[in-house]
Amino acid sequence: MKRKKAGIALFLVCVCLAVTGCMGGGPAVTTGTINNETRKSGTGNYLSVVTDEADTTDPQCTSEFYNIALNVFDRLTEIRALDDGTSEIVPSLAKSWTVSDDGLTYSFHLQENVKFSNGEDLTASDVLYTFTRLLTYPDSCNQDIAEPILGARDLMIGEADTLAGFRLDGDYDFTITLEQPYAAFLAGLSTPGASILDETTTAAAGSQFGLDPALTIGTGPFIFREWQRGVGMVLEANRDCWSGAPKAAGLNMVIVPDSEAQRLMFENGELDILDLDTMGPDAEYFVHGDLYQNRLVQGPRVGISYIALNQSIPPLDQLEVRRAMQLSLDRQTLLNAVYSGRGQVENGIFPHGLIGFNPSLPQIPYDLEEAKRLLAEAGYPDGISVEFALPASSTAQMREQVTLIVSMWEKAGIHASVAEMSDEDFMARRKSGGLTCYTSTWSADFNDPDNFIHTFFGTAGNTLSRSLCLADETLIQRVHDARAIVDEGERIREYQALEKEIIQEQASWVPLFSKQHLFVVQEGVTGFKVAWNGWSNTCYRDVAVEKK
């Protein structure tokens, strides 16, 4: 035990030395030396938080690292949380818009006099460049945001040089025409991958955009100043930001993989906000201890944990078997044991807080005897054997969750062997439809049911790549067609009918639960709220901190 603590103490010394020195990779700037004195200077203090390491900060080329996208860039629209737990789409760089009655044509008017942090003016041409690059840049992984636009597919495959559905109407006005109606289009424009880029700087930067902070330019509340891999990133307040200066002088985002090291740094005042989702069992120290009760900040994670069931692999090709796998899990006990009950059991595809959530969806009960009966009816009176895939990077909580799932299934005669594999093997097998079952979590990128049901069940390719392999092509086509329904009430009713059929009647996966996301903050931190969707990545525009 002493040797472990000594190792952590040495790790902390190294982190502190690295963070208080210049963070390298280019010319030194004042904000690169983040010690206690600089954090107390200027019009505010630097906010210190933990971040993950990133391969790139290019918002078009990552589907995981959004800290830079959310703080350095803006989008045409944003999603704002409301006091009643719902959310709404609100203007951002797009000051206003109108939508044609047929749902095909969107006319936008940009905010005027907006400047990128390098002084360049924001114009409609930058928006056109952003969507063109999103569809054509070789490393882009967020093309789906712009794919509904007329001519997007032709541009992507090289059969067109311009995006047919995008028309410039002036410096601040443009029109987007879709291939077919897509009700979630505006919501999709709020996602980090839809961040608006400066055409001049980004085109000149080439492959260094997203890698070189000086060339990674946005209109957001912070300016990307420094990045030292393995150590962290420094962001400086954009005092001239079009939407107002942020409350903090800057962000000091440090990379600290060890949860116990994070805890000690927070207790020593070296971190201002601590994400308890990353802490594993150490989170309970903050959640249940008297010292931090008034410093906990929580919000719902608009997402769902689930078990994917591959219908192309026997015996999961039988409905009775899949239904038995649903009924033999005591999901509330699972939530209580692994996450201290912080969340809500879900019974469908759409979790609490998502547009389209159906509170009247029938509960999937825990019924061990019925599960055994169904297995016998399917021809397996002595039970079945299945392989449960587990990626090597799984957290301690995920491993505990899998252990409990396997033990619960065992009581019904479902003998699951856990197959741990590298992350690369896991993803390769999943994308090829080769995993029998696994558990994961999907969180909302934007607040629309399309982001959930179409992602998993909207095309044969989607079901294959997520190892679901639905046999019912009619269901898949209905999910795909539903996104084009213009009438909102009709669209939601169709989605809810599909949700019931896919999950309750076809048992295509096992819905588990949505979770609460908890953070703990220092006494001097004000204005911090959990992101509307419960993400760890968040915009720190309104967060301030007073240093002692």
Query: What single string gives the DSSP state of each residue in 425-475?
Result: HHHHHHHTT--SEEEEEEE-SSSSTHHHHHHHHSSHHHHHHTT---S-HHH
The pair of structure tokens assigned to 284 is 């309970």
Look at the domain 303-516 and name its fold.
Dipeptide-binding Protein; domain 3 (3.10.105)
Burial class of residue 240, CB neighbours in 10 A (0-12, 13-18, 19+): exposed
> Cβ(18)–Cβ(227) under 8 Å?
no
> Cβ(304)–Cβ(515) under 8 Å?
no
Using the 8-state DSSP alphabet, how is residue 115 labeled?
Answer: B
List, for residues 376-423, the tens digit of each pLDDT value: 999 999 999 999 999 999 988 899 999 999 999 999 999 999 999 999
Query: What single string gives the DSSP state of each residue in 24-71?
Result: -SSS--GGG---HHHHTSTTS-EEEEE----S---TTS-SS--HHHHH
pLDDT of residue 547: 80
Report the share of the chain in percent with pLDDT over 90.
Answer: 84
pLDDT of residue 471: 80
What's the rounded Cα separation, in Å, for the pair 548 and 543?
17
**Amino acid sitting at position 332:** Q
pLDDT of residue 42: 34
pLDDT of residue 44: 63
The CATH code for residues 35-57+210-298+517-545 is 3.40.190.10
Q: Do 77-202 and 303-516 show the same overall fold?
A: no
pLDDT of residue 289: 83
Architecture of domain 77-202: Alpha-Beta Complex (3.90)
pLDDT higher for 140 or 85?
140
Flag whether pLDDT at 38 surpasses 70: no
pLDDT of residue 18: 38
Spans of all domains in the chain:
35-57+210-298+517-545, 77-202, 303-516
Residue listed under structure tokens 């006990």: 333
- 315, 386, 202, 265: which is closest to 11 by C-alpha? 265
Gap between the terminal Cα atoms of the chain: 32
What's the rounded Cα separation, in Å, for the pair 486 and 182?
8
Distances, alpha carbon 25 to alpha carbons 32, 227, 320, 406, in Å: 11, 7, 58, 47
Secondary structure of 156-198 in the HEC alphabet?
Answer: HCCCCCCCCCEEECCCCEEEEEECCCCCCHHHHCCCHHHCCCC
List, for residues 445-500, the tens digit of each pLDDT value: 999 999 999 999 999 999 999 999 988 899 999 999 999 999 999 999 999 999 99
The pair of structure tokens assigned to 89 is 């789409």
* Least confident residue range of 15-24, 201-210, 258-267, 323-332: 15-24
120 CB-near residues (< 8 Å, 6+ apart)? 198, 200, 201, 217
Using the 8-state DSSP alphabet, how is residue 121 labeled?
Answer: B
Average pLDDT over residues 425-450: 95
pLDDT of residue 168: 98
Flag whether pLDDT at 146 surpasses 50: yes
pLDDT of residue 216: 98
Average pLDDT over residues 156-177: 97
Question: Rounded to 5 degrees, what are φ and ψ at 177?
Answer: -110, 130
The pair of structure tokens assigned to 494 is 């169709």
Average pLDDT over residues 214-234: 97
pLDDT of residue 16: 39
pLDDT higher for 234 or 39?
234
- 271, 232, 270: which is closest to 254 by C-alpha? 232
What's the rounded Cα separation, in Å, for the pair 301 and 343?
9
